[in-house]
Amino acid sequence: MPQRLKASLAPAVKRVDAPRAAKPATPQASQFPSTAHDVARLAGVSQSAVSRCFTPGASVSDAMRQRVQQAADTLGYRPNLIARSLIKRESTIIGVVLPDLDNPFYASVVGRLSSMLTETGRRILLFRSPATDSSDPVLEDVLRYRVDGLILVSSPLSSTFADECVRIGLPVVQLNRTSMRARVSSVVGDNVRGAARIAEHLLRHGHRRLAYVAGQDGSSTSQERENGFTAALRQAGLTLALRETGHYTQDGARAATQRLLSLPEPPDAIFFANDYMALAGLSVARHAFGADIGRSLSIVGFDDIPMAAWPEFSLATFRQPIDAMCARTVEIIQAQLGDIGVAPQRLVLPGELVVRGSVRGGVVDPLA
């Protein structure tokens, strides 16, 4: 609501109860939200009394509360949280930065975070981090809003920026990503172990020519999964045969799959850095290359998004404990909110290998 008629500034002499800017004759026409002052005037009480009536633990007489309540109702008064946060130094809004809402995993994360944060009266202010560039400019922007906390979903964080957040006492949590250098809390699934479990399963079922489709180079998540995967291969005396990057997009995954399967010696198993890519890859492999998924070609993802379980895909994957991850994230924010300077936590939550029909040895859906 920008262009409110500018009230002609009062002269140097202070005028208590100065009349507000002239309002249009028609009362229903563009008015503006009424203020505590308006309510106070109507109720014939002080403005601070009004404030108290809207403050949980304040001591107000019943009579006062009545008067104020009624005046507030007739004026449609709603406390201005912007003004409140200025003085309370607490905005009740949490900045959430994420790369992409099209990935169901992220969408689900945001939904859960929103629900959980709402329980303590907080809201999400949404920001998108650029896929490739540094997200520092975005974060710079977030800070201007004086958010109470910052959650970076799968988004990068420079250590200088992390330091800045520490300096100003802003709780920050990286979710589904970490930074080696940045001294901030993070909550991630057990990427190394999960990827190793996947590799072991693949090896156990006779796969020898394995490919990895990375997400974004530079993403800790993708790197850890790759590390866990290749480490397990190494342990078996093997190496990663092929490697592509899908940029965490479905287009990227399709292109990567196409390149892999067009090779003279294509892989006999592909591990994608997440389900979102794996689904796209699986689909292309099956329909564009006629691959016999789960037999001549095994496909595995990571996350266990709902669609992975659909019989159309029956995608083997490593389940991330998404609920727990979100819960822990919110808890860390709360904890740091209450007690500044608590040491940053780096949580690694266990997941679970989910073997399905897209890999050898997987349970084929009896209904398929």
Partner DNA sequence: CTGAAAGCGCTAACAA
Partner DNA sequence: TTGTTAGCGCTTTCAG
Query: Which parts of 95-114 interact with its own copies (CB under 8 A)?
Result: 96, 100-102, 104, 107-108, 110-111, 114
CB neighbour list of residue 329: distance below 8 Å, 6 or more residues apart = 113, 151, 173, 175, 187
Site string for DNA, 63-102 (x = CB under 7 A): xx------------xxxx--xx-xxxx-------------
Report the partner that residue 343 touches, choosing among DNA, its own copies, none (CB closer than 5 to 8 A by kind): none
Given the complex with DNA, which of 63 and 367 has the nearer CB atom?
63
Q: Choosing among its own copies, DNA, none, which partner's interface includes residue 31 (Cβ < 5 to 8 Å by kind)? A: its own copies
Regarding 37 and contact with DNA (CB under 7 A), the answer is yes
Candidates 245, 357, 238, 213; CA nearest to 292 is 357
Size of the site for DNA (CB under 7 A): 39
Q: Are 344 and 350 in contact (CB under 8 A)?
A: no
Q: Please return the burial class of 24, using the count of CB atoms within 10 Å of its CB with bins 0-12, 13-18 and 19+.
A: exposed
Q: Which of 68, 72, 91, 274 binds its own copies (CB under 8 A)?
A: 91
Listing DSSP states for 303-362 in one string gives B--GGGGSTTT--BEEE--HHHHHHHHHHHHHHHHHSTTPPP-EEEE--EEE--TTSTTP
Distance from C-alpha of 303 to C-alpha of 320, rounded to nearest angstrom: 5
Chain residues 124-163 in contact with its own copies, contact rule CB under 8 A? 124-128, 140, 143-146, 148, 163
Candidate list 30, 32, 102, 115; residue touching DNA; CB under 7 A: 32
Residue 287 interacts with its own copies (CB under 8 A)? Answer: yes
Residue 229, classed as helix, strand or coil, is: helix
| Segment interacting with DNA (CB under 7 A) among 15-23, 95-103, 118-126, 176-184 | 15-23
Using CB under 7 A, list all residues that contact DNA.
6-10, 12, 14-16, 18, 20, 32, 35-37, 45-49, 51-52, 54-55, 59-61, 63-64, 77-80, 83-84, 86-89
